[in-house]
Amino acid sequence: MSTTADHPVEKIGEASAQYVDERLGSNKFLGRNLGKVFPDHWSFMLGEIALYSFIIVLLTGTFLTFFYNPSMVEVIYNGSYVPLKGVQMSEAYASSLNISFEVRGGLLIRQMHHWSALIFVAAMAVHMFRVFFTGAFRKPREFNWLVGVGLTALALGAGFTGYSLPDDLLSGTGLQIIRGILQSIPLVGTWAAFLVFGGEFPGTDIIPRLYAAHILLIPGILLALISVHLMMVWTQKHTQFPGPGRTNDNVVGYPLLPVYMAKAGGFFFIVFGIIALIGGLVTVNPIWIFGPYTPDQVSAGTQPDWYIGWLDGALRLMPNWENVIAGFTISWNVLIPSVIIPGILFTGLALYPFLEAWASGDKREHNLLERPRNAPVRTGIGVAAIVFYGILWIGGGNDVIATTFNLSFNALSWTLRITLIIGPPIAFLITKRICLGLQRKDREKLLHGYESGRVLRLPHGEFIEVHQPLNYKELAVISAKEDLAVLPAPEKTDADGVRNPTYRVDQLRHKLSSWFLRDNITRPTDAEIEAGQAHASHTAALEAPLNEYELQDEDPVGHGGVLHHPGMPMTNQEQIDQRQ
C-alpha cells in the first residue's frame, strides 16, 4: 500500500497489510475489491437478513452445545422447575430445561437461536421471491439460483432437526410423524425407518443422530454453499433495478468501502439487536410447558414450526387414499403430501430458470432486473405457487384457526381442499391480467405522459386533460422494458420435403414461448417515446401560467424534505469535484 499513514494505528495496519501481502499477495485483491460497487435497494437486503440470522444461529448454537446433552437415557429431573420435579425424562430434555432455567442467559440464547432460525428460513423464502419475481435468476445467475434452492432445502432440514432436539412432547410427536412418512415410502420405507431410528420408534438413537446432523453435517454444507453463493454474487456483481444511468453493462451504487461496509455491517448489528430484543421479550417454544416426550401422549394443537407447516397442512388436507397392490401397501395419503408434493415443488424450483430460458429462447446476459409486470406469466406462476403454498400453510394451522374464529375445522378443511385446486389457477389468471393492465398503463405513460387529472379549457373552447411528462426516474424505469419475440413455429418438413426430426420438441417450445410472451404489450420505440413526452410537456406548458404560484411553493426534493431548505441540485460530477 502506498498510502501515507499518519496515525500510529494506521501505521501498524499498513505494516500488517504489507506483511500479509508479501506472503499472500492480498493487496491485489483488496485494491480491486474495496471499491466494489453494490446497488442500493431495500429488497437486496433480504438475502443479508438470511445471512446475518444464520451467523446468529451459529453463534448462539455454539453456546447451546456447551450445555445440551443429546442423550435419550431416562433420568429423573431434579432441576429448579417445580412442575416437572421428579418426572422421568430423557437427558436431552433435562439438559434443555437446564439451559432454560439453570444457565443464566441460557433461555435468552435458546430463544435467540430459535427466533433467528425461524427468521433464517423466512428471509431465505422472501429473498427467493425477490429473485424470482425480478428475473434475477436469468443468465448468468442460474447456478446461484440452484445453490439457493439447495440452501432452502438444507435450511428446512436444519430447522427440523433442531426442532426435534429438546425431546419435548411437541418435538417427539414431530419425529413420530417423520417415522410414519418414512414408512410410507414404497419398497424401502420400512427399512429406512428402522435404519434412521436405529430400530423401532422411538428407540434411543434418533436424538444423537439428529444432533450430529444438526450441528455438523447440515451447518457444514450450509456454510460451504453460502460461501459459494456469495462468491458467485461477488464475481457476477449484483443485479440492479432499471433507473437513470443504469444499464445492462454497468452497476450503479455505493462502493464497498466505506458506504456499503457501514450499511451492511450496520444492518448485521440491527438484525442481531432485534433478534436479541425479541429473544428477551417474546417466548418461543416454551418446552417446559409441553413436558417430556413419551410415545403415548399428545397435546392438542400439535404443530411444527412455520416452515414445515405447509407439509403438515398437506398431510391434513390429503384425501385418505391407500391401495394394496399385489399384497403391498401404498399409502398415497402420506406419500403424496409429504414426499411427492415437496419433491415436485423443489424440482420445479430448481429447473425453473432453465425451463424459462428454453421456452423464451433468451440467451443474453441479464444484469438489469425485470419488473414483475413485464413478465406476466412468470409473475403469475410465482403468485399461483405462493397461493398453493399459502393454502397448505393455512391447513397446517386449521385447528388453531378454527378455535380462534369459532369455525368447524371440518368445514375449513373442505374449503381449503377446494381452494387448493382452484385457487392457484385463478391467482395465475388474475395476476397475469393485472400485469398486462400495468403494461398497458406503462405504454400509455410513455406515449402520452401521465394524466394529471386536471382539465384545461383552451381559449378557443376546447377541453383537454393536462398530461405531464414523466420525470427522468420513471421514464428510465418504464422505458427499460425489453420485448422478446415468440419463437417461430417449426416446419414439419423442410424445403426438400425432409421430415424435421425435432418437430415435436420445437412445436412444444414454440407453444411454451407463445404462452410466455404473446400477450405482452410492446414497448413504444424511442422516437415514439420522445414524441409523446414532448407532447406532454407541451400541454403541461399550456397549464403552467395558471399554476405559477403553486409551482413555486412545491418542494422540488423527491424525498420528503419539507422542513429545511435543501441544497441546490448538482450533478454527481459536480458534487464529486466539489468534495475533492
Partner 1 sequence: MKFLSARRRNPIVAVILLIAALGAVGITFSAVSNIQPAQAALGTQTQVEEGKKLYLEGCSSCHGLDAQGSMNGPTLIGVGAAAVHFQVATGRMPLAAPGAQAVAKDPIYNEEQVAAMSAYIAALAPGPAIPTAEDLDYSGADVAEGGVLFRINCAQCHQAAGQGGALTAGKYAPNLMESTPQEIYEAMVSGPQSMPVFANETLPIAEKQAITSYIMALQEAPNPGGLSLGRLGPVTEGLFMWVVVFAAFIAAAVWIGIKAR
Partner 2 sequence: MTELTSTSPSQEDGHENTPAKLGHSPVAPIPHRLRVTDTDPKAARRAERQVASMFTLSMVFIILAVIAYATIDKFATIYIPVLGEVGTSNVVLGLTFGIAVFLIGAGAIQWAKKLMPDVEVVQERHDMVSEKSDDQLAAAQYERGKDESGFARYKLIRRSLLGALALFPIPLVVVLRDLWITPADSPSPTEILSETLWTSGKRIVSDGTYVPVRPEDLPVGGLVSALPEGIMEVQEEEHNMNARGKATIILVRMDPDQIRSQQGEGWDYNGILAYSKICTHVGCPIALYEQRTHHLLCPCHQSTFDLADSGAVIFGPAARNMPQLPISVDEEGYLIATQDFAQPVGPSFWERDRT
Restricted to residues 487-546, the positions that interact with partner 1 (CB under 8 A) are none
Residues 156-175 binding partner 2 (CB under 8 A) are 173
What is the pattern of x (binds partner 1, CB under 8 A) and - over residues 544-573?
-------------x-xxx--x-x-------
Instruction: Based on the shown chain and the rule CB under 8 A, indicate whether residue 49 belongs to the binding site for partner 1.
Output: yes
Instruction: Based on the shown chain and the rule CB under 8 A, indicate whether residue 320 belongs to the binding site for partner 2.
Output: yes
In the complex, the smallest distance separating the C-beta of residue 123 from partner 2, rounded to whole angstroms, is: 16
CA distance 100 to 79: 11
Q: Where are the alpha helices (DSSP H) in 366-408?
A: 376-396, 398-404
- Residue 252 binds which of partner 2, partner 1, none (CB < 5-8 A, kind-dependent): partner 2
In the complex, the smallest distance separating the C-beta of residue 402 from partner 1, rounded to whole angstroms, is: 5
Query: Residue 209 corresponds to which cell in the numbers above?
Result: 443422530
- Residue 503 binds which of partner 1, partner 2, none (CB < 5-8 A, kind-dependent): none
Residues 212-241 binding partner 1 (CB under 8 A) are none
Candidates 145-153, 376-384, 507-515, 550-558; binding stretch for partner 2 (CB under 8 A)? 550-558
Instruction: Based on the shown chain and the rule CB under 8 A, indicate whether residue 82 belongs to the binding site for partner 1.
Output: yes
In the complex, the smallest distance separating the C-beta of residue 105 from partner 1, rounded to whole angstroms, is: 12
Selected from 24, 340, 400, 485, the binder of partner 1 by CB under 8 A is 400
Residue 514 CB contacts under 8 Å (≥ 6 apart), including other chains: 486, 487
In the complex, the smallest distance separating the C-beta of residue 355 from partner 2, rounded to whole angstroms, is: 21
CB of 87 or CB of 232, closer to partner 1 = 87
Selected from 124, 136, 170, 387, the binder of partner 1 by CB under 8 A is 170
In the complex, the smallest distance separating the C-beta of residue 310 from partner 1, rounded to whole angstroms, is: 11
Residues 246-265 binding partner 1 (CB under 8 A) are 263
Query: Residue 10 corresponds to which cell in the numbers above?
Result: 494506521
Q: Where are the alpha helices (DSSP H) in 361-500?
A: 376-396, 398-404, 409-448, 472-478
Residues 281-320 binding partner 1 (CB under 8 A) are 281-286, 289-291, 296-306, 309
Instruction: Based on the shown chain and the rule CB under 8 A, indicate whether residue 507 belongs to the binding site for partner 2.
Output: no
Instruction: Based on the shown chain and the rule CB under 8 A, indicate whether residue 107 belongs to the binding site for partner 1.
Output: yes
In the complex, the smallest distance separating the C-beta of residue 346 from partner 2, rounded to whole angstroms, is: 21
Selected from 86, 453, 545, 556, the binder of partner 2 by CB under 8 A is 556
Instruction: Based on the shown chain and the rule CB under 8 A, indicate whether residue 267 belongs to the binding site for partner 1.
Output: yes
User: 524-533: b or e for each residue (b if 16 or more CB lie within 10 Å)?
Assistant: beeeebeebb
Selected from 291, 469, 524, 532, the binder of partner 2 by CB under 8 A is 469
**Cβ proximity of 386 and 129 under 8 Å:** yes
In the complex, the smallest distance separating the C-beta of residue 55 from partner 1, rounded to whole angstroms, is: 15
Residue 536 CB contacts under 8 Å (≥ 6 apart), including other chains: 448, 449, 450, 467, 468, 469, 470
Residue 165: Cβ within 10 Å count? 21
Residue 97: Cβ within 10 Å count? 22
Residues 111-150 binding partner 1 (CB under 8 A) are 111, 115, 118-119, 122-123, 126
Residue 13 CB contacts under 8 Å (≥ 6 apart), including other chains: 5
CB of 218 or CB of 384, closer to partner 2 = 218
- Residue 42 binds which of partner 1, partner 2, none (CB < 5-8 A, kind-dependent): partner 1
What is the size of the binding site for partner 1 (CB under 8 A)?
Answer: 73
Residues 341-400 binding partner 2 (CB under 8 A) are 365, 367, 398-399
Q: Identify the CA nearest to 293 among candidates 90, 84, 83, 110.
A: 90
CB of 277 or CB of 508, closer to partner 1 = 277
CB of 173 or CB of 360, closer to partner 1 = 173
CA distance 522 to 223: 44
In the complex, the smallest distance separating the C-beta of residue 12 from partner 2, rounded to whole angstroms, is: 22
Task: Give pairs for 389-392: CB < 8 Å, separation 24+.
Answer: 389/310, 389/345, 391/313, 391/317, 391/416, 391/419, 391/420, 391/423, 392/309, 392/310, 392/311, 392/313, 392/314, 392/317, 392/420
Residues 50-109 binding partner 2 (CB under 8 A) are 72-74, 80, 101-102, 104-105, 107-108
Q: Is 417 helix (H, G, I), strand (E, B) or coil?
A: helix
Residues 21-40 binding partner 1 (CB under 8 A) are 40
Residue appearing with cell numbers 426534493 = 557
CB of 262 or CB of 489, closer to partner 2 = 262
For 566, counting Cβ atoms within 10 Å of its Cβ (0-12 exposed, 13-18 middle, 19+ buried), the class is exposed
End-to-end CA distance of the chain: 21
Residues 211-270 binding partner 2 (CB under 8 A) are 235-237, 244-255, 258-259, 262-263, 265-270
Peptide bond into 202 cis (omega under 30): yes
H or E element that contains 465: strand 463-468
Selected from 296, 462, 496, 548, the binder of partner 2 by CB under 8 A is 296
In the complex, the smallest distance separating the C-beta of residue 97 from partner 2, rounded to whole angstroms, is: 13
Residue 398: Cβ within 10 Å count? 22
Q: Is 65 helix (H, G, I), strand (E, B) or coil?
A: helix
Candidates 2-10, 13-21, 369-377, 471-479; binding stretch for partner 2 (CB under 8 A)? 471-479
Instruction: Based on the shown chain and the rule CB under 8 A, indicate whether residue 575 belongs to the binding site for partner 1.
Output: no
Task: Give pairs for 470-478: CB < 8 Å, separation 24+.
Answer: 470/445, 470/446, 470/533, 470/536, 472/244, 473/243, 473/244, 473/558, 474/445, 475/446, 475/529, 475/533, 476/242, 476/243, 476/244, 476/245, 476/246, 477/241, 477/242, 477/243, 477/371, 478/442, 478/445, 478/446
CA distance 108 to 285: 12
